[in-house]
Structure 1
Amino acid sequence: MLEVPPVLVDVLATRLREAGCVYAEEEVEVLRQSARTRYQLRQMAEARAEGVPLEHVVGWAEFAGLRIPVGPGVFVPRPRTEHLVAVAAGLARPRDVVVDLCCGSGALARALHERVPGLVLHASDVLPAAVHSARTTLAGIGEVHLGDLYDALPGDLRGRVDVLVANVPYVPTAAIALMPREAREHVPPVTLDGGTDGLDVLRRVAADAPSWLGPGGHLLSEVAEDQVQPALEVLRRAGLDPRSSSDEELDASVVLARRPADDVHGPP
């Protein structure tokens, strides 16, 4: 960590606190972990004070005990999403085919790899910046594809996916304006906007999931607490067997659904 005089730490923490950073001292410590010089530290602190997300300033996010590369314009993985990882890890087995749709930085796929070694990992995102970050995150352990949802995936995965995680955008369009400034202004709207009720992207994922999942395969997605019941209905209408899981400490809700093992229809 960069050595700096205590007086400079105090000056930077004061600057961040005045800019509205609640955990100013802790953020200065994170900046010190990434800065190489005092001049760079000052520049990074000023960027943070101007509203750039801390993770974009330092180039990484802490997620599930890992440092995940996060470049500008890439959605920052949230602590609550660690519940999605925990539920998915409980379903996955070594050598399973696991797909991370809307992968962003690739944090979910990387965290699953750490918990369940030997997975066959694929990830996709529609944003080139996200794919760039995810390819760094998953270098040597998984393939990352650029494109819209399933369109990005290799065709030979159809009907073979054991675990499909899709941390899709689920913020209702009208609620985006109410989000904190740094959440709204530093990632493309496509990473947040889930349509009128927040479930539009989940509907698209669920509609095609039965043709990509293998028999007995699972689809998992994070939703807001008040979206759980309508999200379960979305999954049910897609022909899947749905249920939900929650973690009060993380304020996290996950819906998951299984393609019936006796489903003889399979992929078209």
Structure 2
Amino acid sequence: MPCGRRATGADPVDIVSRLRAAGCVFAEEEAALLSEAPADALDALVERRVAGEPLEHLLGWVLFDGLRVPLDPGVFIPRQRTEFLVELAAPLLSAGSVALDLCCGCGAVGAALLARVPGLVLHAADIDPAAVACASRSLPDVHLGSLFDALPDDLRGTLDVIAVNAPYVPTGSIALMPREARDHEPLLALDGGADGVRYHREIAEAAPRWLRPGGHLLIETSQSQAPLTMAAFTAAGFASRLHEDDDRYATVVSGQLRS
């Protein structure tokens, strides 16, 4: 919730007070993180936070699965619930495995998988040039384009795991999202079509051509949309499985390509 008061001075107590007045629930923690910035930049950063800019965009990084992943303004901010996707995908991989972080955004999922699986061969792809530029700071092979069209043909049939956090907010629900998301994250990273699973259907249909026999597809979804995501997996020939983490409000559907 933006607040019209200006942040002046670098007194820690004053910064916390102003952040709390602006509606920041974790004002103390945010003040400590912002205070890592050079003193001559701190006032401006606090003012921008009070005005409603996301903390992660101001810091230039997001904490994800224990990593500080570089994050540029205007790029989708990965949610903590997406760590569940990483936790499910990582045990399916080992040194030499080939994985794809599809709709990668800043590359947080890919960076976390690389940290968890030494020797992993990781590719990533996104349609947003700003996201690709950002992810390229963390990942070795990031491709620009729409879904699988971004990938080189020689990856067909080679992927062991495809981990996906595609947009899944229904178009009609975008207006109900917090202002930080609506005002500072790209619409193309949020809008999943009329029912939110447009991209899940497209990805599930195309994935078998890119997975090796026995490979796995994992897609983050919501609890309410999970039946639609599972139906997309079934239509594409996958035996789907639902995974839920109630503590993080995280839902993932996975499927394995038949050998």
TM-score range, shorter chain: over 0.9
What's 2:15 paired with?
12
Aligned mates of 2:162, 2:95 — CA distance in 1? 15
Aligned mates of 1:208, 1:7 — CA distance in 2? 53
Aligned mates of 2:134, 2:239 — CA distance in 1? 33
Instruction: Output the TM-score relative to the length of structure 2.
Output: 0.95
What's 1:264 paired with?
none
1:196 to 194, 197, 211: 194
Deviations 1:44-69, CA, capped at 9 Å, x for gaps: 11111111100000100000000000
Contact 2:126 2:144 in 1 (8 A): yes
1:240 to 221, 238, 241: 238
What's 1:47 paired with?
48
Aligned mates of 1:13, 1:42 — CA distance in 2? 12
Contact 2:10 2:42 in 1 (8 A): no
Q: Structure 1 stretches of 5 or more lacking a match?
A: 1-5, 262-268
What's 2:228 paired with?
230
2:27 to 24, 27, 31: 24
| Counterpart code for 2:24 | C
Is 1:154 the counterpart of 2:152 in the alignment?
Answer: yes
Deviations 1:164-197, CA, capped at 9 Å, x for gaps: 0110000111111111100111011010000111
SS at match of 1:11: helix
**Cα-Cα RMSD:** 1.2
Over the matched positions of the two proteins, sequence identity in percent amounts to: 51
Contact 2:53 2:180 in 1 (8 A): yes
Deviation at 1:247, TM superposition (A): 1.0
Q: Structure 2 stretches of 5 or more lacking a match?
A: 1-8
Instruction: Output the TM-score relative to the length of structure 1.
Output: 0.91
Contact 2:10 2:43 in 1 (8 A): no
Q: Which stretches of structure 1, 4 residues or more, deviate above 3 A after TM superposition?
A: none
What's 1:220 paired with?
218
Aligned mates of 2:218, 2:60 — CA distance in 1? 28
Aligned mates of 2:32, 2:173 — CA distance in 1? 32
Deviation at 1:7, TM superposition (A): 7.5
Aligned mates of 1:146, 1:7 — CA distance in 2? 41
